[in-house]
Every structure is written in structure tokens, then in C-alpha cells.
Amino acid sequence: MLKLLLTSVCQIFGIFLITFLILHLIPGDPILVMMGESSSLADQEKLRSELGLDKSIIEQIINSIGQLAQGNFGTSILSNMPIKPQLLDAMKNTYTLASLALCIAIFFGFIGGILAAKFHGSYIDRCITNVSLFFISIPHFFLGPLLILMMSIYLGLLPVSGMESKYAIILPALTLALGLLAVIIKMTRNSMLEIINSDVVRTARAKGLGELAITLHHMFRLVLIPLITIIGMQFGSLLSGAVITETIFSWDGLGRLLVTSIQTRDYPVTQACILIIASSYVFINFLTEVAYRFLDPRMRH
């Protein structure tokens, strides 16, 4: 467990180094890239000292670690305001979106997977498998506009984009969830099929338990353990999918902040966004690993 924690901390430090280097890898002078050729020399020097680019690289690394430890993510070049409040807002929005998408995907994924495995080989199974294959092969940037076209423009049920209405979260969450849903259905179905003929299930059936009790109490609990790992790993694709989904639906999350900051060449914001997204991915992976060990006694030693 300690080794796991240590690896995660090392990973986060590595991510910090890579994001830190982003500013230094810009071809040419980053200050000129950010401010444009026509900016005055005094402004350029001011920004240079604000970003700490006039110091040596070791000094810069130590400085920014110190700043980060105090929860200071630096200042946005565009708005000249601290990044932190903006970042916290975006984080809240992204995590709300991602967790809703995850809930939808897990709920319908489990139901779909269990049904498909229960009626293995039947019409229901083929139907569920084909629908999930359909959603697994559609990229987010196509599914999003498709949903807008269907739900908002033809049916007029939900808002197209933005965050004003409280129903606005449904379409982006659905876009994110449908791809994940397909993965969860496939995994649930396959692992259910693996244990459907195992001794545990046969014993339960021999005891005279009802079909529902066998499915939920015996089979589902066994299936849950590998599924948790897969869901944890899929969280990463959820985060990178959020970049595109948030851009389509104008959802003010981390992904949209990242894309806007790249377009406006606001590099401190870009760095902060990448750092946060990658660190939360590492954190979730760590939690998944811990949960896995906790749930499966065989893994504890």
C-alpha cells in the first residue's frame, strides 16, 4: 500500500515537471508568443519577472512547487487575476458532469450487462450487444451534435448548450455516458458469463435460492470486483472525453477552460488545467487500486 502511495506521489511530481516544462518547450521566446511582437519591452520584462522566467530553471521549479503547496496556481495573463477561483469553478462543473455521466453509465450498464448475460444468445442479448457496439464506435464529437440535433432542435426538449437551465447538464452527461455505458455493458456481460457455470452459482441454485437472489447476491457481487477496476480505468477516458464534450456544449469545465486557454495563449491556465486533470486521473487510479484490495481479500497480501 505504501509503495502504491509512493508511486502515485512520484507520478504527480512527474506530471508537475512535464506541465512545468510546457512553458519552456515553446519554440522561441514564450513571452513574445504570449504578448505578440508589437508589445512594449517594459511589458515583456514585467511579464517575464511575474512568471519567474528571468531566474534559473532550478530556482523556478522550487518556486513553483512552493506556490503550488500554498494552493497558488499563478495568475492568468489574459484577465490578470489569480487562476485558483476560476479553476475551482471549472473543477466543480467538470466533476459534476463526470460523476453524473458515471452514474448513468454504471446504472444502465449493470442492468444491460446482467440482462444480456441472463438471456445469453437470445434476441435481447443480441439487441443489447449491437446497441453497445454502435455507441462504442461513435466518437464524442459526433455523438454530441447528433444528440443536440435530435433532442434540442427536432424535439425541442432540452437546451442546446450553456449552463443556465438546470436541464442543460443532461445532454453532455448523456454524450459522455453512452460511450462508457457500452464498455460497462460488455464487461459486465462477459464476466457474468464466465461465472454463470461456476461452483458458487451451482451451489446457490442447489440450495434452492430464487433466480433473482442468485443473480444479485452471488453473481453480481463476484462480478463487481473486476468491474470496479475497469470503471476506475475508464474515468481517464471520461476526463479526456470531457474536453471535447464541454467544448461542444459550452459547459464551463476544465476541458473548455483548457481549450480556451490554448486558443488565447494563456499558458499558466493551460498548465494548471493539465496538472489538475492528470493529477485527478492518478488520484482516481490510486483510489481504484485501494478499493480493489479492500474488496478482494486475495489481493491484500
Contacting residues toward other proteins, per CB under 8 A: 7, 10-11, 14-15, 18-19, 22, 25-27, 139-142, 145, 148-149, 152-153, 160-161, 235-237, 239-241, 243-244, 247-248, 258-259, 262-263, 267, 270, 274, 277-278, 281-282, 285
Task: Tell me how far apart the alpha carbons of residues 104 and 124 are, in angstroms, rounded to a whole number.
Answer: 20
What letter represents residue 183's amino acid?
A: V
Query: Taking the complex as a whole, how short is the minimal distance between the CB of residue 120 and other proteins, in angstroms?
Result: 20
| Sequence-distant (≥ 6) Cβ neighbours of residue 287 within 8 angstroms | 232
Whose CA is closest to 118, among 182, 187, 211, 209? Answer: 211
The smaller minimum CB distance to other proteins, of residues 201 and 266, is found at: 266
Question: Whole-number minimum distance, CB 194 to other proteins, in Å?
Answer: 22
- Smallest gap, in angstroms, from Cβ of residue 190 to other proteins? 17
Q: Which is nearer to other proteins, 98 or 228 (CB)?
A: 98
Residue type, 119: F
Judged by CB, which is closer to other proteins: 110, or 286?
286
- The least CB distance from residue 117 to other proteins, in Å, is 22
Which three three-digit cell numbers place residue 217?
Answer: 447476491
Give the residue with the Cβ less far from other proteins, 78 or 259. 259
- CB-based contact 184:113 (threshold 8 Å): yes
Residues ≥6 apart with Cβ < 8 Å to 119: 125
Q: Please report how close the Cβ of residue 31 comes to other proteins at its closest, in angstroms.
A: 14
Q: Which C-beta is closer to other proteins: that of 68 or that of 222? A: 68
Radius of gyration of the chain (CA): 24
**Distances 205 to 121, 177, 189, 199, 200 between C-alpha atoms, Å:** 21, 35, 20, 10, 9
Three cell numbers, residue 259: 481549450
How far apart are CB 84 and other proteins at their closest, in Å? 20
Closer residue to other proteins (CB): 195 or 259: 259
